[in-house]
Amino acid sequence: MGSKTGILLAGSFVVWVAAIAASTTVATGSTVQKTTNDGVYTKAQADGAKKQFDKMCADCHPFTVEARKKPKDIPLGDEPFFDTWSDRPLSELVTLITLTMPNDGSATVNDAEAMDLVAYVLQQNGMPTGPNPLSKDSTSATIVRPKK
């Protein structure tokens, strides 16, 4: 009878350990997708990009529809921005900037500059700041409308 009890106890222990391991995996394995409401850039990063934005981007990308100089200009604020970019990862916006901007071919934008420019766009659209600058590691965050 003692050996049966020992086997039952050992079996119960194995099941208990497996259950704990499974629940820990579920708890730690389920990652919540970050969004732009989670503060994925710093104020300093965005502030530092304003001059670059004004020089390279502002002529074609005002932040309001009313501020457009030409009908083909694409606003980066308000509804036009969110209609285009909501529910998409920041990495897509960064990639678009590095590959195609400015579209007149007058300059090139490297990855670091694109991160800073995106931080500035997020700031202008009311997204909260965070403790770390936007980087390749944080561009998987999804673009969403700012919390009111």
Q: What is the pLDDT of residue 117?
A: 97
Q: What is the pLDDT of residue 76?
A: 86
Q: Which residue has the higher pLDDT, 125 or 17?
A: 125
Please report the DSSP string for 14-76 in residue order.
Answer: HHHHHHHHHHHHHHHH-PPPPBGGG--S-HHHHHHHHHHHHHHTTTT--SSGGG-SSTT----
- Mean of the pLDDT values across residues 71-80? 79
Cβ 84 vs Cβ 125: under 8 Å: no
Q: Say whether pLDDT at 113 is over 50.
A: yes
- Mean of the pLDDT values across residues 77-99? 92
What is the band of 103 on the pLDDT scale with cuts at 50, 70, 90? confident
What is the band of 26 on the pLDDT scale with cuts at 50, 70, 90? very low
- Mean of the pLDDT values across residues 19-39? 63
| Dist CA 128 CA 140 (whole Å) | 17
- Mean of the pLDDT values across residues 120-136? 96
The model carries a pTM of 0.75
User: Which pLDDT tens digit goes with each residue over 51-66?
Assistant: 999 998 988 888 777 7
Q: Say whether pLDDT at 94 is over 50.
A: yes
Candidate from 37-41, 65-69, 110-114, 141-145 with smallest mean pLDDT:
65-69
Helix axis angle, 111-124 relative to 90-100, nearest 10°?
A: 120
Q: Say whether pLDDT at 13 is over 50.
A: no
| Dist CA 109 CA 100 (whole Å) | 9
